[in-house]
Amino acid sequence: MIICEHGSRIAQIEDALNKADPNKRMAYVKPVLKRHASLALFSRVTVGKLATVTEHSHCLVHALQRSNGDELLIASVHLSSPMHQSERDLMFLAQDSADLIRDQESQRRHRHTLVVGDFNMDPYHPGMIASHCFHAVMDRRLAMEESRVIQKQEHHFFYNPMWSRLGDDSLGPPGSYFYRKASPECHFWHAWDQVLVRPAILGHFNNTRLSVITQIGVTQMLDQKGRPNFKKYSDHLPIAFEI
């Protein structure tokens, strides 16, 4: 479980998670340098099999040793809010995080990688689709081509299934975040919370198991208008997936 903007309430969150399901205990995975201000990873994986391998202010990269001996890279991301950053700023921040992930892939000589978090950008934002940023595409078949060449330089794809979770015909609400602003251009619904998957592990990812969560147990996360109930819970809806 990855939580953004935890407010340094690590112990309280860990305690609440374990009280909810005492038979499946979860533990906080500590970053390399210091407790991260806006990102926290909690896991049921045995200590020693999952560790943070690198980090910066907007991204943590974790390495998971799988039972078959393969390694999986899990990057958690929380980019700055567009309320405080320009579109160009967000694109540069996205490139910083994408470069950090690519560096780890090069060092570890594999691309068994997924990226998840609050990108504060929609799937169609330049920071999500540009080749020097996350280079995340909506088409699984295209993603399986693995890369494309631009100006004689190879750029590898991520697959972004969150394109299909936008709008009324999605399998749930029209997005994961709702914001009404008094300006001529207003999208209202956004899919800022996303998961990106490299082609190397895409065969293990089932799109039908990806969901924007609107109810946890008997707790309804939406208000009477069908929007995130930010007054009681959060202005973002969580996403869940399996791999």
| Domain membership flag for residue 68 | yes
Average of per-residue pLDDT across 59-85 = 90
Q: How confident is the model at residue 52 (pLDDT cuts 50, 70, 90)?
A: confident
| Domain membership flag for residue 181 | no
Average of per-residue pLDDT across 70-77 = 94
| In the predicted structure, residue 81 carries a pLDDT above the cut 80 | yes
Looking at per-residue pLDDT, the higher value among 145 and 33 belongs to 145
| Domain membership flag for residue 66 | yes
**Rounded Cα distance, 89 and 78, in Å:** 14
Average of per-residue pLDDT across 205-222 = 93
| In the predicted structure, residue 13 carries a pLDDT above the cut 90 | no
| Domain membership flag for residue 15 | yes
Q: How confident is the model at residue 84 (pLDDT cuts 50, 70, 90)?
A: confident
Q: What integer best gives the mean pLDDT of the chain?
A: 90
**Rounded Cα distance, 98 and 77, in Å:** 10
| In the predicted structure, residue 47 carries a pLDDT above the cut 60 | no
State how many domains the chain has: 1
| Domain membership flag for residue 227 | no
- Which range marks the domain in which residue 14 is found? 2-167+191-208
pLDDT tens readout for residues 107-138: 999 999 999 999 999 999 999 999 999 999 99
Average of per-residue pLDDT across 59-67 = 89
Amino acid, single-letter form, for residue 201: I
| pLDDT value at residue 67 | 77
| In the predicted structure, residue 224 carries a pLDDT above the cut 90 | yes
**Rounded Cα distance, 124 and 137, in Å:** 9
For residue 164, the SS3 value is helix
Average of per-residue pLDDT across 222-243 = 93
Nearest-5° Cα angle at 99, 98 to 103? 120
DSSP conformational letter for 80: P
For residue 88, the SS3 value is helix
| pLDDT value at residue 34 | 62
CATH number reported for the structural domain that contains residue 8 in this entry: 3.60.10
Phi, psi of 24 (to 5 degrees): -130, 80
Q: Which among 216, 193, 211, 235 has a CA at the least distance from the CA of 21?
A: 216
pLDDT tens readout for residues 25-37: 777 777 766 656 6
| In the predicted structure, residue 182 carries a pLDDT above the cut 60 | yes
First to last CA, the chain: 13
CB 175 within 8 A of CB 189: yes
| Domain membership flag for residue 147 | yes
| pLDDT value at residue 39 | 83
| In the predicted structure, residue 161 carries a pLDDT above the cut 90 | yes
| In the predicted structure, residue 193 carries a pLDDT above the cut 80 | yes
| In the predicted structure, residue 213 carries a pLDDT above the cut 90 | yes
CB 146 within 8 A of CB 157: yes
Average of per-residue pLDDT across 1-18 = 77
| pLDDT value at residue 7 | 65
| Domain membership flag for residue 217 | no
Reported residue count of the chain is 243
| pLDDT value at residue 190 | 95
| Domain membership flag for residue 135 | yes
